[in-house]
Chain A
Amino acid sequence: MKKNNLNIHNLITYGIVVAAFLFVSILVWTGNASRHLQAMLVPIGLNIILAVSLNLIVGFLGELTLGHAGFMSVGAYAGCLFAIKYAEILPTAVRFPLAMIIGGLVACVFGIIIGVPVLRLKGDYLAIVTLAFGEIIRSIIINLEFTGGASGLKGTPQNSNFYIVFVVIMITLVVITNLVNSRAGRAICSIRDNRIAAESLGINITYYKLLAFVIAAFFAGVAGVIYGHNLSILQASVFDYNRSIEILVIVVLGGMGSIRGSVIAAVIITALPEMLRSLADYRMLIYAVVLIAMMLLNGSQKFDKYKGRMNIGGLFTLLKNKKSAKEAG
């Protein structure tokens, strides 16, 4: 019974993504997609991958990290350097996927290097240390020769497109969803809910924390590679803590621990500044006001009645509860 519900819930999430993909594809094929829209597709997809993977740490493991952009940058540089080196030797169909895997794995290695010492810190301390690591990575990349330094890395083949991003999104969704619904995922969630109880059941906290951290880093790295293949120049300055915060905002707005919420919030948050383009200078201001308002509605006691409606994951829970109440009554 329960398993079926779960499967249906996940299938709906996949269905939403596939439907959105088909819809946009049709727009593109029929020539109805504006240049703006087409240019937004890859960034939106990247934010979906980044948000869903960060949700594993923030929503499911329950730890706050502000260094996701750091993993993204490490992956981007590793994958792009590989792609530049083998641009003439390997065909795109081999090189690009290989670059993504290399970028992901290098990000994993950094995830382990950073995670092992850092994951015993908690809460705000973990947040600031991951932020610090992200900034250190950025500074170092800017000061290295082979990364192109401050002027950036040029020459990555521009192979990214909307279809590849879609495939990677689906892989990310399936891997994270399946992981969360497995033995390891349960252990990860148990650490979030009650670390001491989890230890009393013999669950290896350190291992599962690191696992969540490393898997999230992998997908951040892959997203970085796609990002690098989408532009003609890769600059370390874009991977600063503000980028990490942007992803965190998506996760929190989408609802922590809600994968579907992350997907939808990623679309909205990425598209919002673009949709507000006509408002020119006012758009960041409006974005800020919307963000504050959403958080106030979400967390304030005064608005308890509406609680859950202002974050996307909560909205689904609310609808589901209504439905099950109807079925029961």
Chain B
Amino acid sequence: MSFISNLINGLSLGSMYALIALGYTMVYGIAKMLNFAHGDVIMVGAFTMFTAAATLKFSPAISIIAGIIVCTLLGVIIEKIAYKPLRKASPLTVLITAIGVSYFLQSLALLIFGSNQKSFPMLFNFEPIRVNEDLILKSDSLMTMGVTILIMVALTLFINKTKTGRAMLAVSEDKGAAELMGVNVNKTISITFAIGSSLAAVAGLFFGLTYGFIGPYTGAMPGIKAFVAAVLGGIGNIPGAMLGGILLGVIENLSKAYISTELSDAIVFAVLIIVLLVKPTGLMGKKINEKV
């Protein structure tokens, strides 16, 4: 495969990571917590679409919308039940709770769908685009990238131009002050989880289309990678998550193509470590000085 097609596949994978990383980073920015269960929301999204399309024979559009709705609701419900009571608890308690939620979603999926991988229905059937002999563009890669760019533009506009978006920025800056200024903190956090989880559902769709198979533990590794991407870009920083996700996808795909398939994960993690050692708060993270 040519360098260009490897690069494009990397960009497509990176777009998927970026979508997941956005959820991580938005939740981190606002609730100051690592939502370890975020990766499993991807899996829930993918399984919902699978059930709607393959089992219930709904049309692709309806299946996708169902997946997004289920994930959005799931994100809000998880926040209400598991994280909201712990707003003032130690970060470690919240982290373990998130891990508990992650186990819960995985074992629930295991119970319902079994441990065998399910083949994800081909919701779209576009022909690959042949540019020339060496360069064949997979249409789902192009779609992943296109949709991700659209979502990122929309999200940036939403956050900077709408009242709700600015409320999100205010809450992530200073929860107490935002509350005093009349921002409904609970609502804002719910909306953040809703947006993050719906993005995860979209990522779940792309995961299914790209790999063709889904299982109960499908979300775990992309979740961790997206978490790495969010930290790489500077956790809590939205453009950082986009940049981190795309970089990660490209690095992963190029190392798979040119260095070693087995070591590609190790290379991705090594890049994270090197970046953090040079810039301890990530590529676009702000330096925080502790006041003495």
Contact = CB atoms under 8 A, between A and B. Distances in A.
A249 interface: yes
B165 interface: no
B279 to A, nearest CB: 11
A123 B90 CA distance: 12
B276 interface: yes
For this complex, into which size category does the number of interface residues on chain B fall?
35 or more
Contacts of A136: 266, 269-270, 273
A292 B82 contact: yes
Nearest to B227: A128
Contacts of A284: 103, 106-107, 110
Most buried by A among B88, B269, B270, B292: B269
Contact of A125 (B85, B270, B281): B281
Contact of B265 (A133, A135, A289): A135
Interface stretch (A11-19, A79-87, A137-145): A137-145
Contacts of B106: 284
Contacts of B262: 139, 142-143
Residue of A253, A282, A291 most packed against chain B (CB within 10 A) = A291
Given A125-B280, A125-B281, A292 B108 contact: no
Given A135-B266, A142-B262, A295 B88 contact: no
A127 B106 CA distance: 22
A249 B280 contact: no
| Interface residues of B, dominant DSSP | helix
A295 B272 contact: no
A127 B280 CA distance: 13
Interface of A: 58, 64, 117-118, 120-121, 123-125, 127-129, 131-133, 135-136, 139-140, 142-143, 196, 241, 245, 248-249, 252-253, 256, 281-282, 284-285, 287-289, 291-292, 295-296, 298-302
Interface string B206-228: 00000000000000000010011
Nearest to A304: B88
B101 interface: yes
Contacts of B224: 131, 241
A284 B112 CA distance: 13
A164 to B, nearest CB: 31
8 contacts: A118-B277, A139-B263, A196-B292, A241-B224, A295-B93, A296-B85, A299-B88, A300-B89
Given A143-B262, A248-B96, A284-B107, A124 B86 contact: no
